[in-house]
Amino acid sequence: MTTTRPFQQVDVFTDTAFLGNPLAVVLDGTGLSDAQMQAFAAWTQLSETTFLLPPTPEGAAGGADYRVRIFTPGAELPFAGHPTLGTAHAWLNAGGQPRQAGVLVQECGVGLVTLKQLGERWAFAAPPLSRSDISAEDLAPVLAALELDASEVIAAQNLNNGPHWLGLLVECVDTVLALEPDHAALKKLGTKVGVAAKRQAPDGGLIRRANREARAFTAPGTRIANDPTDLEVRAFAAPVGVTEDPVTGSLNASLAQWLMADGHMPAAYSARQGTILGRAGQVFLSQDAQAQVWVGGDVVACVQGFVTL
């Protein structure tokens, strides 16, 4: 039996529609089976589709405002960043009332995730990160699939904050933008890879300014002059059915926790992602006095209506 359910599609990590990472949100997933959720996510062909549900009793006891299940076209995820921000926006836009003003608590596969309002935008608390070194032997086939030479890699880590990513920090932005991975090889390896490079100002320092116009209306593959962001990021996720993700909150969260801890990036910076795909996603990363990393971004509503599921 099918039911008409409220539905929204939002664009995440952008203040300009169609330049971020789109997310489909089914605002009432009650009664849907795992197979139905997965089938709809495969049909949307977006990097993620979410389904809102009431909190479990355990989640409610922990303060959850709602529960969310997150699906790629090929699998369910325990956590993902752009669905976290996008679902929160959709829930609030649909009339959701948080228990505490300026704070949301989301229940998902990794447990409870806190979001809070930081100025004009919401940010989520990066879940605890597990990370480890990767051996040269394990790294070699990944670099071969990326057509990267080991000499171009500054640092590499296995990163896991729910989703697992192999994080690579490389020498320059041009290297990141020039990558043409063998996605079939990455899928066979079962490895999702995030590649990043620091963007340098002419004086060698990080670029630290905001300019909305500089990052809007960019043709695919175009590099932006005087880009206001500090880090260029690309995310390759063939093992979950997404060759390249436009803007990835979970990856940026784990990259920030790693790169800040190891001194590669400062305690506050912004990252750009999606350039090669014609997007201009911007992720705002900051670490508070308690060493908690917060991941923020703008969200724009694009479609509101109903879906029959």
Which residue do the tokens 């670099």 mark? 143
| 111-145 tens-digit pLDDT | 999 999 998 899 999 999 999 999 999 999 999 99
pLDDT in the model for residue 218: 38
pLDDT at 216 over 50: no
pLDDT in the model for residue 120: 86
- b/e for 202-212, b at 16 or more Cβ within 10 A? eeeeebeeeee
Residue 222: pLDDT band with limits 50, 70, 90 = very low
Q: Are 132 and 158 in contact (CB under 8 A)?
A: yes
pLDDT in the model for residue 228: 85
pLDDT in the model for residue 185: 98
Any residues with CB less than 8 A from the CB of 253 and at least 6 apart, and which? 81, 124, 126, 127, 129, 161, 285, 293, 295
Is 232 designated active site?
no
Structural domains of the chain sorted by starting position, each given as residue range(s) with its CATH number in brackets: 4-126+297-308 (3.10.310.10), 130-284 (3.10.310.10)
What is the average pLDDT value for the chain, to the nearest integer?
A: 92
What 8-state DSSP symbol labels residue 225? T
pLDDT at 55 over 60: yes
Rounded CA separation 245/4 (Å): 29
Cross-strand partners of 306: 6
Is the whole-model pTM more than 0.95? no
Residue 65 has φ and ψ, to the nearest 5°, of -85, -30
Mean pLDDT of 83-91: 98
The two structure tokens encoding residue 203 = 């004086």
Which residue do the tokens 């922990």 mark? 62
249-261 and 81-93 are packed helices; what angle lies between their axes, rounded to 10 degrees? Answer: 120
Rounded CA separation 118/122 (Å): 6
Q: Of 23 and 214, which is predicted with more confidence?
A: 23
Active-site option among 48, 107, 232, 244: 48
How many beta carbons lie within 10 A of that of residue 7, not counting itself? 19
Mean pLDDT of 264-287: 97
End-to-end CA distance of the chain: 8
pLDDT in the model for residue 227: 75
Which residue do the tokens 């996510």 mark? 41
pLDDT at 94 over 80: yes
Q: How many residues does the chain have?
A: 309
pLDDT in the model for residue 200: 82
Q: Please return the burial class of 191, using the count of CB atoms within 10 Å of its CB with bins 0-12, 13-18 and 19+.
A: buried
Residue 226: pLDDT band with limits 50, 70, 90 = low
Residue 205: pLDDT band with limits 50, 70, 90 = low
pLDDT in the model for residue 119: 87
In order, the DSSP letters of 57-71 are: HHHHHTT-SEEEEEE
Rounded CA separation 244/251 (Å): 12
